[in-house]
Chain A
Amino acid sequence: MIRFEQVSKRYPGNANALETLSFALAPAEMAFVTGHSGAGKSTLLKLIGLLERPSQGAVTVAGRNLAQVRRRGIAQHRRMVGMVFQDHHLLLDRSVQANVELPLVVAGVPAEERAKRARAAMEKVGLGGMEQRLPVRLSTGEQQRVGIARAIVARPAVLLADEPTGNLDPQLAVEIMGLFAEFQSIGTTVLVATHDLFLIKRIRKRVLVLDHGRLVDDVSATEVAA
């Protein structure tokens, strides 16, 4: 589903954020990307979401080399990728429900169905009853869950999450990861960037370890369990 081939990313004036990175994720596979701050976790996710282009190498998603996706195709690509961001990226003047519905609005889903699916997504992340609240009135953890609900509401083929549980209490973090695993079980490829080792050990999925932009370890789910 996702393939990196000798991918490097250099930001102007900086060292390589990613260096000759190669790995592949099968459809419906879930994996963690871990490493210290600045290891390149966020950059890796940004390349998959087409928020950035690689400086070198090829990133392929669902059989499509993203280098061939022109400006007009970026939106279409992003509609099949759900993204959860560290800094939430919510519309603070819109209700929680309006935020969660946004990918469905973009996809042209009818209003009734939008509301139904948004409520279901909010229930799943524990935001039931908060539909009409404004994000500014929510805690950071609740805002994070709004971001997660928005990422899963359109049932994307690929789900990317950048430190999705950083602001959640451990119990809720495990529940959210369980939710991601649920999505994996229905065919979604899930890639989660985190440095929460407790969570990695608890969830027991494949782990890609980055260090200074290089892939230094690729640990399978069974090895993690062991």
Chain B
Amino acid sequence: MNARGQAASRRGAPARWWRAHRWALGQSLLRLRERPLGTALTVAVMGLALALPLSFYLVQVNLDRFGQVLGAQQALNVFLKQDQTQAQATALARTLRADPAVATVTLRSPAAGLSELAALQGFGPALAALPDNPLPWVLVLRPRATAALAAVSTLATQLRGNSAVALVQDQGPFRARLDALTDFGRRVMQVLGALLALAAVLVVGASVRSDIQSRADEIHVLQLVGASAAFVRRPYLYAGLGLGLLSGVAAVILVLMLEVALAAPAAQLDASWGGRLGFAALSVTPLLVLLACAAMLGWLGARIASARHLAAGEPN
């Protein structure tokens, strides 16, 4: 080819590239359409494999939320001794408010405590029979959200050593156990997610491999007329990408169905917690991320399968 011919060839390269991709896309759509049952089965299996990690993610998001609600309720209930007066209780509350680990201190009088107790079913008559109010002054301390668990524990220990304090209730250890549990759950979700992603790659790989094997003659003919490895491979990559994307859509639909199915019991559970849990549905971002990951996994499965099988058949 002379210099003018080479220049013309270079100028035509983008158009040739576009035509080759359009042809490959058409071929891949043709292949998916030619095997509707195989395509549907692949999409179903891969969609299920992808829906599971997304469901785990949904559960994880809500467990985290639940933990935050419980964390917000984490409080130190400080019961003062019976002989402590309102002035002494107020003074101690003022001192505690200055502590950097403390967000709020609420002073609860013996009278308020008694009326709360009386409101509980069955306690009213018993309390009415008492000659005087046996309840002490109580300080309800809420730690700052940023306060370390250790700092709150130290504060509880210090309060237990205070001569005015009869009892300190600390929910910190419960919170620590809950955090450990949610961390464990998160790790389990990550491992299962990775395994199921691998399964998705294998599913698409197997589907593409079977397609390649059934089209061995066609591939051979394409190679004989001068098709490059990339040209031969491209329809399979588009098919893998399409299978991945369809499976992603199937997974999203499955998870949305799961959300709908769980909506009523979740609302019931939330109501029993006074509406503080507020169950979260998946936002658009993780759904889009799933679609992108599914397409990428489909492409990857097709790439691995095609690289292995197309390399054979050409002389070394």
Contacts and interface: CB of A to CB of B under 8 A. Distances in A.
Interface of A: 49-53, 71-72, 74-79, 81, 83, 85, 89-91, 102-103, 105-111, 150, 154
A72 B224 contact: no
Interface string B199-220: 0000000000000000001101
A71 B314 contact: yes
A75 B225 CA distance: 8
14 contacts: A51-B315, A53-B315, A72-B229, A75-B227, A75-B229, A75-B231, A79-B226, A89-B217, A89-B224, A102-B221, A106-B226, A108-B15, A108-B20, A110-B15
Contacts of B315: 50-53, 74
Contacts of A110: 15, 19
Contacts of B184: none
B194 interface: no
B276 interface: no
Nearest to A99: B221
Contacts of A49: 224
A150 B223 CA distance: 14
Contacts of A108: 12, 15-17, 19-20
B174 interface: no
Main secondary structure of the interface of B (DSSP, over half): helix
Given A53-B316, A108-B19, A72 B226 contact: no
Interface of B: 12, 15-17, 19-20, 23, 217-218, 220-229, 231, 314-316
Q: Which 5 A-B pairs rank lowest in CB-CB distance, beginning with the nearest?
A: A108-B16, A79-B226, A78-B226, A75-B228, A103-B225
B15 A75 contact: no
B22 to A, nearest CB: 9
B221 A106 contact: no
Given A50-B315, A53-B315, A105-B23, A75 B226 contact: yes
Nearest to B315: A53
Nearest to A81: B226
A78 B314 contact: no
B68 to A, nearest CB: 56
Nearest to A92: B217
B226 to A, nearest CB: 3
Contacts of B20: 108
A150 B226 CA distance: 12
A126 B60 CA distance: 70
B9 to A, nearest CB: 10
A21 to B, nearest CB: 18
A77 B224 CA distance: 10
B19 A75 contact: no
A111 B20 CA distance: 11
A100 B220 CA distance: 15
Contacts of B220: 89
Contacts of B228: 72, 75-76
A91 B19 contact: no
A154 B225 CA distance: 10
Contacts of A79: 225-226
B34 to A, nearest CB: 9
B227 A106 contact: yes
Given A52-B315, A53-B316, A79-B225, 20 more contacts: A50-B315, A71-B229, A72-B228, A72-B229, A74-B314, A74-B315, A75-B223, A77-B226, A78-B224, A83-B224, A89-B217, A91-B218, A103-B226, A106-B222, A106-B225, A106-B227, A108-B15, A108-B19, A108-B20, A110-B19
A209 to B, nearest CB: 27
